[in-house]
Amino acid sequence: MTDTQISRTRLAGETSGSAQRPPQRLVLPMLSFDLLTEQELLRREESYRGGDRNAKTLVKEHGLSVVLTVMRSGARLQEHKTAGPLSIQTLAGHIRLHALKDTIDLPVGHVVMLDGNISHDVEALEESAFLLTIASVQR
């Protein structure tokens, strides 16, 4: 256990918690989030104050992950890929996605879907927040 983890028994489907965040349930049957509040909390954390982005996994369940990410203007998530298909929905600001030799602008309210194993990167054209949803590949 690191000095940033909270010393307690973790329940199944729950994060361990840290000095920045309390433990959090990541599994269904039902979860609900105020995304505006969650964005603000992410921006207050040291990871964001001292860096160019911050993220929080909201759901991590069999076949599904949902991650909220906030980025400063000019920040970039370097090229990467996921095994499963994904969607990226812009909640605040304006981001740009590069994939398959295309550039897709994603201002607030826009969403893009990508199949699995497609290399892509994301850049923030202004301070932004987006919701990333990843479906796991079923084998």
Compare 21 and 5 and report the one with higher pLDDT.
21
CATH of the domain at 105: 2.60.120.10
Sheet containing strand 102-107, strands side by side? 76-80, 120-124, 94-99, 102-107
Residue 16 has pLDDT above 80, yes or no: no
What proportion of the chain, given as a percentage, has pLDDT over 70? 83
In a domain, 27, yes or no: no
Residue 2 has pLDDT above 50, yes or no: no
pLDDT digits (tens, 9 = 90+) for 23-75: 766 666 788 999 999 999 999 999 999 999 999 999 988 889 999 999 999 99
CA distance 62 to 138: 10
Mean per-residue pLDDT of the chain: 88
Q: Compute how many other C-beta atoms are within 10 angstroms of the C-beta atom of residue 8.
A: 9
Exposed / middle / buried, residue 106 (Cβ in 10 Å: 0-12, 13-18, 19+): buried
In a domain, 16, yes or no: no
Q: Is 72 left (phi over 0), alpha (psi -120 to 50) or beta?
A: beta
In a domain, 14, yes or no: no
Give the total number of structural domains in the chain: 1
Residue 61 belongs to domain spanning: 57-135
